[in-house]
Amino acid sequence: MTTRNSAHLRPIALGARPVATLREVAKLAGVSMMSVSRAINSPHQVSAATLKLVTEAISNLGYVPNLVAGGLRASRSYLVVALVPTTTGPLFGEMIHSLTEALDARGYQVMLGEIGYARSREDELLRAIVGRRPDGIVLTGVMHSAESRRMLLTSGIPIVETWDFTRTPIDMLVGLSHERLGAEVCRFLHTRGRRRLALVSGDDERAARRKDGFVKAAKGLSLRSPVVHFGHSPTTHAEGRDGLAKLLVDHPETDAVFCSSDMLALGVLTEARLRGINVPEQLSVVGFGDIDFAETVSPSLTTVRIDGTRIGQTAAQFIADRAEGRIVEQPIVNIGFSIVQRESA
């Protein structure tokens, strides 16, 4: 069974984003440009009151000092920064590889940053990155802190958000709706006669939206509210085993489990086998990610595939076009997803 939505959507209004300037910071703070410069570069040379005024103005405007050659850079850096939650698993590897290859063919280099699943690390990395003025930034997800959003909106740097969906991106977007994905998996399991559903899920924002879509669809089908067991993102094989074991204590009648990652699903398959539970006769299992073992594990894993190659290639094209002065006519692309049916469901 395949579900895709590859529509290109034009945002309501996406124009050139204003770049906050030193002059604007000085005006808002009510001090001279020299005082602002000193507060940034030599804070010990200004009074505490002036430093407070400048710091508040910088925060309100989202201003980030240009750290490249004192702000006098005359040419592009040919550097693109990509931020992903984790580099330890294979989920984002396909996108990173295709992004790197596509940008390399255009003369750009990719620098990779690992932000984890806590926004605070993204804030810290973005402060360092924006000040060095790369030619583009590729982000994972659309949920950012207010501080990060201000920095990015006023930076003037081409930004591509990926792996998620919103009609109001910071700049450009290549992604998918996780709520719709969760709903489609629920309906997929329902068509196979499954009525007592459960989720074993990580605690990151995209997994939470898949859970919300799954639960909402179950309600629409007049099913009981699915039982949810949460683990920590990035999720592991061990958490999948533990998740199924705990689900079966209170809900032994569970006949289908949707996992927020293929690693969790592999753990569920392992625990089911050790308990003598037949998959899929007694328990259907669906993963997320379609990583390399999904097809070769026994039973082979039904999972949801995201086209990471297309995400990387489209993001690279967006960045290169904008960095080289070309207009991106369709800056929002919904790449959709595919439910890959195999033996486990």
Picking from 337, 245, 240, 309, the residue whose alpha carbon sits closest to that of residue 3 is 337
Helix axes 308-323, 93-104, angle to 10 degrees: 40
313 φ/ψ sector (left φ>0, alpha ψ -120 to 50, else beta): alpha
Q: What is the pLDDT of residue 233?
A: 84
Q: What is the pLDDT of residue 67?
A: 57
pLDDT in tens, the chain (345 residues): 444 444 444 343 344 456 788 889 899 999 998 888 888 877 888 899 999 999 898 888 888 776 554 444 446 788 999 999 888 777 899 999 999 999 999 999 999 998 887 666 788 889 889 888 899 999 999 988 888 898 899 888 999 999 999 999 999 999 999 999 999 999 999 999 999 999 999 989 999 999 999 999 999 999 999 999 988 888 899 999 999 999 999 999 999 999 999 999 999 999 999 999 999 999 999 999 999 899 999 999 999 999 999 999 999 999 999 998 999 999 999 999 999 999 999
The token duo for 270 is 């392992």
DSSP conformational letter for 8:
E
Cis peptide bond upstream of 234, omega within 30: yes
Q: Which domains does the chain have, with CATH numbers?
A: 8-20+62-66+77-176+309-336 (3.40.50.2300), 178-305 (3.40.50.2300)
Phi, psi of 281 (to 5 degrees): -55, -45
The token duo for 112 is 């990779």
Q: What is the pLDDT of residue 332?
A: 97
d(CA 174, CA 233): 22
Determine the Cα angle at 232 with ends 229 and 238, to 5°: 75
Q: How far, in whole angstroms, is CA 92 from its chain's centroid?
A: 9
18: CB partners within 8 A, 6+ apart:
154, 156
CB atoms within 10 A of CB 333: 23
Q: What is the pLDDT of residue 4?
A: 45
Separation in Å, CA 238 to CA 120, 222, 232: 27, 32, 11
d(CA 290, CA 267): 15
Name the H helices within the chain.
22-29, 33-41, 48-61, 93-104, 119-130, 146-155, 178-191, 205-220, 237-250, 262-274, 308-323
The sheet with strand 8-9 has its strands ordered as 8-9, 332-334, 172-175, 159-162, 136-140, 79-84, 109-114
Which amino acid makes up residue 23?
Answer: R
200: CB partners within 8 A, 6+ apart:
229, 231, 239, 240, 243, 244, 247, 257, 258, 259, 260, 264, 265, 267, 268
Picking from 334, 319, 324, the residue whose alpha carbon sits closest to that of residue 139 is 319
Q: What is the pLDDT of residue 210?
A: 97
